[in-house]
Amino acid sequence: MSLVWLIVIPLLGGVFAWPLGRAYPLLTRIVCLASLGLDLVIALPLLHGAVPQQGNWLAAFNAPWIPAFGMSFRLGLDGMSWLLTVLTLLLGMFSIVVSWREIEDGVGFFHANLMWSLAGTIGVFLALDLFLFFYFWELMLVPMYFVIAIWGHENRRRAAIKFFLFTQGSGLLILISILALAFLHERQTGVLSFDYFALLGTQPGGTFGFLVMLGLFIAFVVKLAGFPVHIWLPETHTEAPTAGSVILASILLKTGAYGLLRFVVPLVPVAAHEIAPVALWLGVASIFYGAVLAYGQSDFKKLIAYTSISHMGFILIGVFVINNLAWQGVVFLLIAHGVSTGALFIIVGSVQHRLHTRDLGKMGGMWTDMPKLSSFGTFFILAAMGLPGLGNFVGEFLILRGTYAVAPEVAIAAAVGLIPAALYSLIAIQRAFHGPADASRVQPDFGVRENAMMLALAAAIIWLGVYPQPILNVAAPALQNLTAPPQ
């Protein structure tokens, strides 16, 4: 039951926050923070839970939903979904704090959308009925669309529509694939069901299996923003308000990787092996493409957005190497990237709030007048680059290590991709923070609220970097779920 509360509490938080917004904006923010905090209190102890007869699952819930189609409201939590849920909740809280000063119009509706999007995302991470998963998948998009379309920057309209068309259109492919899978299962067993565990036994082969896989693969890669279906990402991430960018980059991208791991690999394993070589090279292409384009950007926010494409290339490779070591790296990198990119978007957001520009050409020399902002910025750019000792390094290393065992040429190519990463990182630091300061610029440095957020995120990324074992321990049993389906 606590799994249901994990989804319902943010939904209700949004419902209550909306009408409060006009008269009591502060109360809205507090209600949202409190409901996410409450969720966190529910989620944390679940780590020590266990479901009888299902070794690696920590918690489960099952109730009939649409019996006419054999669809049930089935939720389940394992280590991987626990980690991603907790990440969602934490970064959700950061995105509320970061909007404290930035959002002053329509506070209620903004926060309602934020909360609903988070609730949908948590639903995606918990759903173990394929149609329920799709329901949540679609549900998380609409509120995010509003966040971008109403509170975004100059080109918000275009960006929001692009975002929605790409993700919604590819979502329909998921629907077709799961319906086809469920009907195949009905033909095999006589029972129409969308249950994850039931469909694990379907194992479609041949062309049919490949097409089912392809529908899911395309949709998830679109979400992950892998090359060449990444087109929506740079504009969307750039135009969204800071809180929207944080959620998009740190959480929503992860649902694509989660979908690949949770659904594509176990449900259609044969076809997943067939597509793997393509996926690996798409991953390499993403790494280079993202890095090279990031290097060429003069818009600070867009630069960060392109680095996400590059990092998601590693994720794509890691998923389709199909071995446990790389998957450990994938889960790890998902979390580390969530933290580091979330922090970077917060920093870029506060730069824009102060200078009213995202143009790197108009920055420079910020270290002299905003030393705290600049040092945190440098720190997180280095973390995102994969500096040893910080979180992202561990994830990338594990992925490369796992890849080398299976496809050394891919591992080598991906590792070479770290060189342009260093280039764009250093050029960003150079142009934004160093050089002569603009004398006329009088802007305050980070205040208490921002410093506290940054310190927390920095502590997290250092902890991930120097002591990764606890995270790996949580993820490991969950990853066994993917290769050894339970009864």
By CB under 8 A, name the binding residues for other proteins: 64-69, 106, 109, 131, 135, 138-139, 141-142, 145-146, 149-150, 157, 160-161, 164-165, 168-169, 172-173, 175-176, 179-180, 183
What SS3 class is residue 70? coil
Residue 168 CB, shortest distance to other proteins, in Å, is 6
What SS3 class is residue 60? strand
Report how many helices (DSSP H) and strands (DSSP E) the chain contains, helices first: 23, 2
Residue 165 CB, shortest distance to other proteins, in Å, is 6
Which CB sits closer to other proteins, 166 or 295? 166
- Paired with 75 in beta bridges are 61, 127
Q: How many CB atoms lie within 10 A of CB 48?
A: 7
Rounded to the nearest 10 degrees, the angle between the axes of helix 408-416 and helix 418-433 is 20
Residue 130 CB, shortest distance to other proteins, in Å, is 12
Residue bearing tokens 């920095």: 458
Q: How many CB atoms lie within 10 A of CB 364?
A: 18
Which CB sits closer to other proteins, 149 or 315? 149
Which CB sits closer to other proteins, 176 or 406? 176
Would you say the C-alpha torsion 31, 36, 40, 42 has a positive or negative sign? positive
Residue 441 CB, shortest distance to other proteins, in Å, is 30
Nearest of 459, 412, 350 to residue 102 by alpha carbon = 350
Residue 132 CB, shortest distance to other proteins, in Å, is 11
Tell me the backbone φ, ψ of residue 65, rounded to 5 degrees.
-125, -70
CB 58 within 8 A of CB 77: yes
Residue 252 CB, shortest distance to other proteins, in Å, is 16
User: Tokens standing for 355?
Assistant: 């200078």
Nearest of 392, 377, 355, 348 to residue 454 by alpha carbon = 377
Residue 21 CB, shortest distance to other proteins, in Å, is 10
User: From CA 351, how far away is CA 360, in angstroms rounded?
Assistant: 10
Which CB sits closer to other proteins, 193 or 403? 193
User: From CA 289, how far away is CA 233, in angstroms rounded?
Assistant: 13
Residue 93 CB, shortest distance to other proteins, in Å, is 25
Question: CB-based burial of residue 368 (10 Å sphere; 0-12 exposed, 13-18 middle, 19+ buried)?
Answer: middle
The residue type found at 50 is: A
Residue 421 CB, shortest distance to other proteins, in Å, is 34
Which CB sits closer to other proteins, 40 or 192? 192
DSSP 442: -
Residue 467 CB, shortest distance to other proteins, in Å, is 41
Which CB sits closer to other proteins, 109 or 300? 109
DSSP 106: S
Which CB sits closer to other proteins, 132 or 346? 132
What SS3 class is residue 396? helix
Which CB sits closer to other proteins, 21 or 313? 21
User: From CA 430, how far away is CA 438, in angstroms rounded?
Assistant: 15
Question: CB-based burial of residue 445 (10 Å sphere; 0-12 exposed, 13-18 middle, 19+ buried)?
Answer: middle
Q: Which residues contact 356 (CB under 8 A, 6 or more apart)?
A: none
CB 63 within 8 A of CB 129: no
Residue 176 CB, shortest distance to other proteins, in Å, is 6
Which CB sits closer to other proteins, 157 or 362? 157
Residue 192 CB, shortest distance to other proteins, in Å, is 9
Which CB sits closer to other proteins, 221 or 432? 221
Which CB sits closer to other proteins, 170 or 250? 170
User: From CA 344, how far away is CA 468, in angstroms rounded?
Assistant: 21
Which CB sits closer to other proteins, 159 or 325? 159
